[in-house]
Chain A
Amino acid sequence: MTDITQKSTATPAMTMGNTLPWILAAAFLFIAPIIFSSNSAITIMNQMGITMVFALAYNMLLGQGGMLSFGHAVYMGVGGFACVHVMNMTDLFEKMPLPVLPIVGGLVGMLFAIAIGSFSTRKAGTVFAMISLGVGELVAACSVIIVVFFGGEEGVSGDRTYGMPFFGIEFLRQIEVYYLTSFWLLVSALLMFLFSRTPVGRMANAVRDNPERAEFLGYSARWVRFYSFVASGFFCGIAGGLFAINFEILTEENLNLATSGGILLMTFLGGAGFFFGPVLGVVTFVLLQTVLGLQTELWALYVGALFLATVMFFPGGLSGLIMMHVTPMRLGKLNRLYVPYLKVFVPAIIGTLSLCGFIEILFHARHAALGEDEMTIFWTTFSSHAILPWIITIVVAVGGIWLAKQSAPELNEAWHDANTPDGGAR
């Protein structure tokens, strides 16, 4: 959470250092579909891009404003539903190029956020979290009742190709949608980043850290929270619009608690303390979901355990972990960490994988169809009712974790060493 402290006095001019990451990101987004050109890869990347906008918008509240929302899917969902309705208004949609459609979603999301934020941002912390949960549940439940807008059980669907052709592009193909999504991802990420550098964005940080002191300085904590909330609602709406364009259907699923919880999970996994954290979280989560999901039915269990471990041991998330290494790198002592890292993480990873293996065997033995006791994990096939695999996995798991624990003090020592300048007090 210290990323903002140093640069604030520097001149806000564009320098190589702060434009380079954006140029690189743009370049990567541009060439990504050329590297990963398969249809499924582009589908996944589309999904990632949309979720990234959503996660970044969510982090405007969680990371930058210190507000924990349990019902944030609502703002994305409402924006998305509005966009689908625009798609279905043929007269209007024919005169409107598709790429501007997300703005409609953004405005609707923002309006909704203004309405809800007017009473929910009065307090931060637990009360805000509760209100957001209540509103989220309320809207999700309403989706079945207000059929005109939410389409009831089957949702609302539209067709993006009816829009006015945009320089001859009709967005029939996935790749065209990909570039549209990437464009909006880049633009909204940049805008959100710039928002965090405005006085309002800075005050949001101040209110997060110490609302009382901010009030003494003459700022209304409530209004600062309200502005962040509304801005977040706008970008959520944009994400909703992109979702509507990509999937062409919105259902109750876009509003419910599971979606809201998922975005919290991703944001926290990536790290709420840094601007780019949520992006990392989304990439990790979607990859975990697709890769693990193909391998095992239990992926949600592993992701849940990973999430809990993150909250307990690395509250900074993945980005926090990465940024922890900036100090050793500046001191030129990063190389002293390699060996201890190897000593701890290799056995720990082997132990954890083995534990997962044990869980898989247990699951297979309990839930597989009767008479089917062959199973394959880690490229080996064996009977899940045999005793030997059980013993092997348990022994390796316990051994690996024990070994890792043995080397942990050494790592701790090396970590302190690497973070202390030579000749400094230890």
Chain B
Amino acid sequence: MDLVLVNLIDGLVTGLLLFMLSAGLTLIFSMMGVLNFAHASFYMLGAYFAYQISIYLGFWMGLLIAPPLVGLLGAGVERYGLRRVHQYGHVPELIFTFGLALLIEEVVQFIWGRNAMPYMEPEILQFTAFSIAGNSIPAYKIFMIFTSVAIFIALLFVLTRTRVGMIIQAALSYPRTVEALGHNVPLVFMGVFGVGTALAGVAGVIAGPVLTTFPGMAVVLGSIVFVTIVIGGLGSLWGALVASLLIGWLTTFAKAYNIRMEDILTGVGFTKPEVIWDSMWQDLWSLTSPQIADILPYLLMVLILVFRPYGLFGKRDV
């Protein structure tokens, strides 16, 4: 039972981290119909910027400065890149962000090299917050949880309770009308893109010390983020939250509990063949849950797309 609790916390950390990425991505998507392939690259940039700043000014200044920098960069990309490509349609936009992701990875390798950066959590947070049955929970994980939750609440507050949020929501559904009312919709779009990428930047800053800051970190998380928002339903913030947590817990539990296919198959009533290494089904028999943990999200996505193409919470067709 104690182990369940530990895994719940671990899964929560992963899920909330995913959520910070997918929230921005899904916002950007519902606004502009653009799936930003480079979203995870901005997450990586956040980690690298924060590392560079933390060398001179320490971790906390990195947390403060890096996300706005990433956001500015994102806004610039929207203003000078995406807006130009927009006229050609959605597919070239997607290709553009794909190329951008490639380029950012190369640029990061150009500036910081191929090796992992020694980006560490601050010393104040390097202690054990509490322990459950001998499993210590580091304070940094608790810090991550609180930061993500705080950001989620702030985002929800801004979107639903403030004037800016109202305009954004209106621009989501009726951009023409909002424009006719005198609001600068392209500016709103740029702002949303900037904030979305800044959110990815925050995720990068706080995930960098845990998941190591290296040039491949965008690729590692990139596709999973897409999977998350497809499962949650494109454009749905709540869907993104639920799907992130689902994926976080699913992968954590699959890794923590070694469920073997062999046990399931014998439980169902099959008998294990004597000469397993010669059998067609040897891979099926030797399958274990930690082995497939990383592909579970993709499997889930394919199933969702087959049986419920709008995703868990998606309302509209894309």
Contacts and interface: CB of A to CB of B under 8 A. Distances in A.
B309 A268 contact: no
A81 to B, nearest CB: 14
A137 B84 CA distance: 30
Contacts of A131: 302, 305
Contacts of B61: none
A127 B110 CA distance: 33
Contacts, number: 116
B223 A133 contact: yes
Given A134-B298, A148-B280, A257-B219, A301 B103 contact: yes
Contacts of A311: 85, 92, 95-96, 99
Contacts of B223: 133-134, 137, 257
A146 B85 contact: no
Given A138-B302, A146-B283, A129 B35 contact: yes
Interface string B101-116: 0110011011101000
B286 to A, nearest CB: 9
Contacts of B302: 119, 131, 134-135, 138
A268 B92 CA distance: 10
B305 A68 contact: no
B282 interface: yes
A304 interface: yes
Interface in A250-269: 257, 261, 264-265, 268
**What size tier do the contact residues of chain A reach?**
35 or more
A190 B107 CA distance: 40
A284 B250 CA distance: 44
B90 A142 contact: no
Contact of A141 (B107, B287, B294): B294
Contacts of A363: 110
B283 A147 contact: yes
B83 to A, nearest CB: 10
Nearest to B287: A145
Contacts of B306: 119
A128 B301 CA distance: 13
B164 interface: no
Contacts of A125: 90-91, 318
A126 B318 contact: yes
A268 B93 CA distance: 13
Contacts of A145: 283, 287, 291-292, 295
Nearest to B224: A137
B226 A130 contact: yes
Interface string A128-159: 01110111011001100111100000000000
Given A127-B309, A301-B106, A363-B110, A68 B95 contact: yes
Contacts of B113: 367
Contacts of A129: 35, 91, 94
B152 interface: no
Interface string A290-312: 00000000101100110110011
Contacts of B291: 145
Nearest to A119: B306
A127 B318 contact: yes
B68 interface: no
B305 A307 contact: no
B102 A261 contact: yes
A134 B227 contact: yes
Interface string B247-265: 0000000000000000000
A342 to B, nearest CB: 27
A127 B305 CA distance: 9
12 contacts: A68-B94, A119-B302, A126-B90, A127-B234, A135-B298, A137-B295, A146-B283, A301-B110, A304-B103, A311-B85, A311-B95, A311-B96
Interface of A: 62, 66, 68, 70, 119-120, 122-123, 125-127, 129-131, 133-135, 137-138, 141-142, 145-148, 257, 261, 264-265, 268, 298, 300-301, 304-305, 307-308, 311-312, 315, 359, 363, 366-367
